[in-house]
Structure 1
Amino acid sequence: MPRDGGHRGAMHPRPEPVIALHRRREHGGLPIDDRKLARALRDRTHVRVVPGSYVAARDWRALTPIDRHDVRIVEAVDRAQGAVTLCCFAAAAVWGIDQVAAWPQTVDVLVPRTSGGRSSGVFRRRTSTSGDLETAEWRGHRITTPAQTALDLARISGFTSGVIALDQVLWRRRAGGPLTSLDRLASTLEVDARSRGRARARAALEFSTDLSDSVRESEGRVLIEALGFPPPVLQKRFTLPSGRLADVDYYFEDFDHVAEFDGVGKYLDPALLAGRTPEEALIAEKDRGDELQRAVRAFSRWRTPAHRDPRLLYDILSGAGLPSRRPRPPAGLIFR
């Protein structure tokens, strides 16, 4: 059986998303207008979260991808026959370990290998013969701890996804503090007897950091290394001529070169806007960028397309004078 993770001080599941759900089980056996429901699903005014649970499409679209998966998890486990143990992507959503890839349509649960790994319905059954997997209590069920969850994702995913997961649990500026520590991750990996994916998880752990403020920053850091550029200093703080402080994503110290991923969230997310209009946020970011450009020798900025096509990122950085030990990658190359 999985062991209790203990070490609860740093573990805190994020608040569950608030959304109005329509559930068959709440009708107390009264008849449902199936024809009306089918029309709502066909017209896409409503979305099926799991069988028997539905939500207005506009409310569903307003949620972030990780929040949508979190809602699906809660609806699935609340109708489960007996207790379950969440793991992998399901556990990641509950803990707030974000990712860049699409979230699955099924909910990951851990089962002993002797019970079989066949998945059906809303659950994806992931088997394990190890009795040393760390778990904690959650809503009357069990869930793998943040350390175990991040390492499991690193085992089953590519290097980039593994680094993103590990960076997320170590993130020092997370509200409420990091979900775990580097020492905890190392000890959790050490006692996990499974050999599959172990080397992959160890490599991702060695590359991880507590300084990446977003999944895209983590992804960018992996790409910078894969493209042969020198390792940057992360979250370097500059005091700009205006007196404002600027913490930059990447700083290549030997070349006095600042580089940043420019995500659109800062112009659209109400929490990041902090009462400003998108236009005000855009102007403020432009002023910040102009000041940074005057403060350093070179300045690079890119958006998501440069992660999807690494040649774009290579051209942006090398075009600004940053040297690489590798040639420009061929078209279609994807680093995983």
Structure 2
Amino acid sequence: MPLIAASTIVRPSPIPLLCWTDVPHPERGVAAGVLVKVRHGVYASARLWKALAPWDRYLARVHAVALVLPGAVFCCESAAALLGMPIFGDPVIVHILVERSGTARLVAGVRSHRAGHDRTIIESNGLALTSPADTAIDLARHRHPSVGRSAADAALRVDPVLTRDLLIAGNEARASSRGRNIARWALTRSTALAETALESVSLCVIEWLGFPAPELQAVFRSESGTEDRGDTLWRSLGIVGEADGDLKYDGRFGDAATIHRRQHLRDRRLRSHAEVNAVVHWGWGDTTSVTPLQHILLGAGLRPIAPEQSAPLYSMRRELSTRAPHRLTAPSESAREHLAAEE
């Protein structure tokens, strides 16, 4: 698997990692509750580890494997974590690629996947991993369609050169047909306009509930010149939908009370437009529980135009309802403006 140097900068470990050679008697630190064993031979501060979000613990696990397996080629969720693509909860298992002549197996929390030469392997900051496109295609082929859609949307944001057509072509060109049909659903719907994992999953649920597809990131300009964007817009009904939940209020964008006040003012500006009749908000629990989001949209006046698809909704609820979405290290500039609209 040839390596291609990439300008993409992989995410560093969220906490310092210590090899067993750097810590005298690490087992004593573990017994005392000062250290945690991230994997065999790699340790971290227990205090820092406990403070990590699940997805950041997973990222630390990936870097721990990189320490003990130099030269490993990361793929699937492990490559996604390094690229800053969505991770749901802590997947625990670290995924690496081996040559087709190698052995596919799961040993000590590391799953090896055999692969040929139909993937692009990039090298960044000394780590080898599948490209954003191939990472998205892998996840779209072998994970729930909502996870695949989230990965594909994120890949388009991570790599500005990448397009939906290239993702689709990459899937069709794979030597193995396994998962090809499954991936088509997610890849043909991918868009960089979905700015978060929650937005991507919301779009999946909206379609599976039979509602019409919304317009994404619609811009409204007030008389004073202030611009506001809506995550989703059903223009014919004047319904603006915001997939935000608690993500805006966890401190990363500033004081929660200030953000809440800005949102209130922003919603008021949106409702002042003649073409806007309602502004509704939903979060992760509303989306993955399905019924709350359905009631929110029905209450706003939206009506289904197609039959509900119960199978993907049921499997998504089981897959994601207890696993919070990964947050990017930093929001895009447009997202930052969206969340901090001028008062």
Instruction: Point out the more displaced range, 139-148 or 116-125.
Output: 139-148
The runs of 5 or more residues in structure 2 that have no matched partner are 317-343
- The residue that corresponds to 1:13 in the other structure is 9
Are positions 1:70 and 2:66 aligned together?
A: no
Residue of 111, 115, 120 corresponding to 1:124? 111
Shift of residue 5, structure 1, vs aligned partner: 5.4
The amino acid of 1:39's aligned partner reads: A
Q: Which portions of structure 1, spanning 4 or more consecutive aligned residues, are displaced by more than 6 angstroms?
A: 327-330
Are positions 1:166 and 2:152 aligned together?
A: yes
Q: Work out the CA distance in 2 between the residues paired with 1:159 and 1:39.
A: 43
Given the two structures, how large is their TM-score scaled by the length of structure 1?
0.84
Contact in 1 for aligned 2:10/2:124 (Cα 8 Å): no
Q: How big is the alpha-carbon RMSD for the aligned residues of Structure 1 and Structure 2?
A: 2.6
The runs of 5 or more residues in structure 1 that have no matched partner are none
Shift of residue 179, structure 1, vs aligned partner: 6.8
Does the residue aligned with 2:153 lie in a helix, a strand or coil? helix
Q: Work out the CA distance in 1 between the residues paired with 2:164 and 2:111.
A: 29
Shift of residue 242, structure 1, vs aligned partner: 5.3
The amino acid of 2:129's aligned partner reads: I
Aligned length: 314
Contact in 1 for aligned 2:140/2:147 (Cα 8 Å): yes
Residue of 81, 85, 97 corresponding to 2:73? 85
Alignment of 1:28-177 (within 5 A): 31-32=24-25, 34-40=27-33, 46-80=35-69, 83-99=71-87, 101-128=88-115, 130-171=116-157
Contact in 2 for aligned 1:263/1:303 (Cα 8 Å): yes
Are positions 1:24 and 2:5 aligned together?
A: no
Q: Work out the CA distance in 1 between the residues paired with 2:134 and 2:212.
A: 31
Flag the 1:282–1:241 CA change in 2: closer, same or farther, 3 A.
farther
Shift of residue 327, structure 1, vs aligned partner: 6.5
Q: Work out the CA distance in 2 between the residues paired with 1:248 and 1:147.
A: 27
Q: Work out the CA distance in 1 between the residues paired with 2:14 and 2:281.
A: 35
Contact in 2 for aligned 1:163/1:207 (Cα 8 Å): yes
Instruction: Provide Cα deviations, 1:210-233, integer angstroms capped at 9, x if missing partner.
Output: 101100000101111111111100
Alignment of 1:297-312 (within 5 A): 297-312=277-292
Shift of residue 22, structure 1, vs aligned partner: 3.5
Contact in 2 for aligned 1:233/1:250 (Cα 8 Å): yes
Contact in 1 for aligned 2:208/2:308 (Cα 8 Å): no
Contact in 2 for aligned 1:241/1:291 (Cα 8 Å): no
Q: Work out the CA distance in 2 between the residues paired with 1:241 and 1:63.
A: 44
Contact in 1 for aligned 2:205/2:313 (Cα 8 Å): no
Contact in 2 for aligned 1:293/1:299 (Cα 8 Å): yes
Does the residue aligned with 2:210 lie in a helix, a strand or coil? coil
Q: Work out the CA distance in 2 between the residues paired with 1:62 and 1:290.
A: 37
Given the two structures, how large is their TM-score scaled by the length of structure 2?
0.82
Flag the 1:310–1:329 CA change in 2: closer, same or farther, 3 A.
farther
Does the residue aligned with 2:292 lie in a helix, a strand or coil? helix
Contact in 2 for aligned 1:309/1:334 (Cα 8 Å): no
Q: Work out the CA distance in 2 between the residues paired with 1:294 and 1:199.
A: 45
The amino acid of 2:42's aligned partner reads: S
Q: Work out the CA distance in 2 between the residues paired with 1:214 and 1:141.
A: 25
Does the residue aligned with 1:255 lie in a helix, a strand or coil? coil
Contact in 1 for aligned 2:13/2:63 (Cα 8 Å): no
Q: Which has the higher contact order (CA 8 A, sep 6+)?
A: 2
Are positions 1:212 and 2:212 aligned together?
A: no
The amino acid of 2:75's aligned partner reads: C
